[in-house]
Amino acid sequence: MVRLFFPVPGDPPIQIRLEGARFHHLVHVLRLRAGDEIEVFDGRGRSFASRVTAVERASAEISLGPHVDAARGRHVTLVQSLPKAEKMEWIIQKGTELGASAIAPVQSLRSVVKLSGSKAEQRVQRWQTIAEEAARQSGRSDVPEILPVEPLEMRVRGLVSRARCYVLDEEEKEISLAQAFSPSMADRSSIALVIGPEGGFERREIESLARLGAVAVTLGEKKLRTETASIAALGARGDSSPGWPDRIMTLLRLFLDLWPISS
C-alpha cells in the first residue's frame, strides 16, 4: 500500500489537504485517484488508514480513518561525527531503517567536512527529508529527528544527563558495546551511541567525553569505517522490537558485503 508522510495535528482532523510536492508525488508520480486507499503516517508514531476522496487541479483531499500507535522502543540517539557527504546520507537512511530515534551530526577534530551557518541548516533540512523517505519506505510511523550540527563535546554534554552515552573507541580493549548494554537491558533507558569520523577520535576527545560521563566501548578487534561502525552499533544495542533480528541481520550482511564507498 502507498504510504504518505504528513504532519497530522495532535487532534486529527477528519480530512487533510495535500498541495505542492506531496500532491505532485501522490497524483502525478503514483497516479492515485479518488477512492484509492493509502496509509498516512505522522512521523510521531501514528499511522492512519486513509482514502483519497477528491483530486483537483492542484490539490487532493484525504480522509483519515482510525489511527494505530506504533510500539515504543528504547530511545536511541546516534551521535555521528561528520563524514563525507554521501556517507552521511547513507548513515541517515540506514539508521532510520534500523530504528534510530534521533541522529545528531557533530563536528569532531578529524571531521573532513566542516559545516556551519546556513550551509549546515540546509544540509540538516536535506538529511531530515532523507529520514522521512527512509521511514516511509521501511514502514516506520515515526521519523527520527535530525538535530542541528554542533561541536562533539557540546552535543554529548547535553545528552549525558538524560541518556547513557557510549563512545566507540578503537583503542578500548576491555569493554565491548554488548557488555556495556547488558546491565541496562532490563529497563528502557535512553542511550546515545557516539561514532567517530574517518580516522577516528583523537585521544583528547575520548578523555574529554569520559570526563563528561561517556563510557568508551569497542565493537571488536577490527577497525571499522565510520559508516560500518554506526550500523554495527545500532545492531548491537539489543532492541527487541518486532522484526528486529531479521532486519538487522539482512542489512548487516548486505552492508558488509556490498557497500561500495571507499574510505
User: Per-residue pLDDT for the chain (263 aa), expressed as one digit of tens each?
Assistant: 888 888 898 899 999 998 888 888 888 888 999 989 999 988 888 889 999 999 998 999 999 988 888 877 788 999 999 998 789 999 999 999 888 999 999 999 988 888 888 888 999 999 999 999 999 888 888 999 999 999 999 999 999 998 989 999 888 888 877 777 665 555 567 889 999 998 889 999 999 999 999 999 888 777 788 888 888 888 776 554 444 554 555 455 545 544 444 44
Q: Does 127 lie in the same domain as 53?
A: no
In-domain check, residue 55: yes
Q: What is the CATH number of the domain that holds 41?
A: 2.40.240.20
What ranges in the chain are assigned the alpha helix state H?
A: 20-23, 85-97, 117-138, 152-159, 177-181, 203-212, 226-235, 244-258
- For 165, half-sphere exposure in the C-beta direction (CA atoms, 13 angstrom radius) is 24
Write the CA distances from 195 to 169, 187, 242, integer angstroms: 8, 24, 26
pTM of the model: 0.83
pLDDT, tens only, 2-33? 888 888 988 999 999 988 888 888 888 889 99
Best CA proximity match to 192, nearest among 161, 216, 159: 159
**From CA 18, how far away is CA 40, in angstroms rounded?**
12
Q: Does 224 lie in the same domain as 164?
A: yes
Q: Does 17 lie in the same domain as 108?
A: no
Residues 6+ positions from 63 with CB-CB distance below 8 Å: 14, 15, 50, 51, 53
**From CA 6, how far away is CA 1, in angstroms rounded?**
16
End-to-end C-alpha distance for the chain, whole angstroms: 38
Domain that holds residue 202: 76-258
In-domain check, residue 263: no
SS (H, E, C) 47-73: EEEEEEEEECCCCEEEEEEEEEECCCC
Give me 79's grid cell. Answer: 551521535
